[in-house]
Chain A
């Protein structure tokens, strides 16, 4: 399976940014600093369970329901 990481990143950024481009950029930077590089994943990226778990943890910390 593939694409779940990018989809999850996109969802987190979309919810946190709430339509604001600057906030979207800041959110992407925060993800990078937390150890998930949004630019490193595409729809073809394999569904690495470690990265997906990390994203779920971040989403929970930010109060985002996936």
Chain B
């Protein structure tokens, strides 16, 4: 039996959950993954999904837009039911306070107790981790770094959103809904799995080195020993007052293996610094990027994956900045169609997780 997706545009959690449960039939999921606009009562939605699928692990979060096979949606609920033929084993734990190292350690111990092994010894070729994390916490780097320290299993996921209100996000697990929290799921897929991390940028070969950084606020005070905004504007060849208009098309990239881990600037501060949507390390050189075509690039990246064999399920963590760019260019329908022929569920995130915390990227888990 194959994974199956469903969605609902209803804002009443009872109506939406019922429509999705009906749409997922006859699948009996081992894992249910759902993403919902905050216009729906997330606690009630979570409880209804768990009641409908008591034998499944059910995880989800609030969003800034939703994706489902063939469509990009707004103010909806999307879900994927993954049967035991796709996910053989799952362990779910909640980090009840993402600001607490103890809470993260407790969640890790919970995962280890469920699977019966220390995470350090778990085979990354057989297991994959999912993470859904509070997108307003600013704690993604810290949580991902800790996970990366204790295991070689790759955790992939997204920062929960709240339809661009930037007030409060929620994650949920097995019928309960949480604020200031993260959900970790350790999965043993029954089929081969891969990752697709795609971002639509080229490297302009212009480099900026952060020489003074306030890591706690993700703010670069200086690049190359100068006020960050001045150096960034000069690298782009634009007046400093125009710099912010170029943020979406010209973010920075932490380059590894020739590919960027994108760091997206958020705002120029009063002192001429630049606050980012993810953490920047002092002394680590960044490259100035130039945006390319999201639809074409993603089509090509997915086609390359599909050339290696069919894909039965995709969980897609898609940056809200990509969504906004697609909306500006009137390409949301075209982007949705990229995934018309595959079971895909995803959401517009406040940041993506793949080994670390990144921006302006689509980070996808592909199950064959």
Using CB atoms and an 8 Å cutoff, list the residues of chain A in contact with chain B.
Answer: 16, 20, 23, 25-26, 28-30, 32-35, 37, 39-40, 61-63
Contact = CB atoms under 8 A, between A and B. Distances in A.
Interface string B146-163: 001100101000000000
Interface string B105-134: 000000000000000100011000000000
A35 B280 CA distance: 9
B352 to A, nearest CB: 13
A35 B281 contact: yes
Contact of A62 (B149, B256, B257, B281): B149
Nearest to A30: B148
A64 to B, nearest CB: 11
Contacts of A34: 145, 281
Given A30-B145, A33-B261, A39-B256, 14 more contacts: A23-B124, A26-B124, A26-B154, A26-B355, A28-B257, A30-B355, A30-B356, A32-B256, A32-B261, A32-B284, A33-B144, A33-B254, A34-B145, A39-B255
Contacts of A26: 124, 152, 154, 355
B284 A37 contact: yes
A23 B285 contact: no
A40 B256 CA distance: 10
A33 B355 contact: yes
B54 interface: no
Contact of A35 (B148, B154, B261, B283): B283
B97 interface: no
A16 B254 contact: no
A37 B261 contact: no
B41 interface: no
A35 B124 CA distance: 24
B325 interface: no
B89 interface: no
Contact of B285 (A25, A37, A61): A37
A33 B120 CA distance: 19
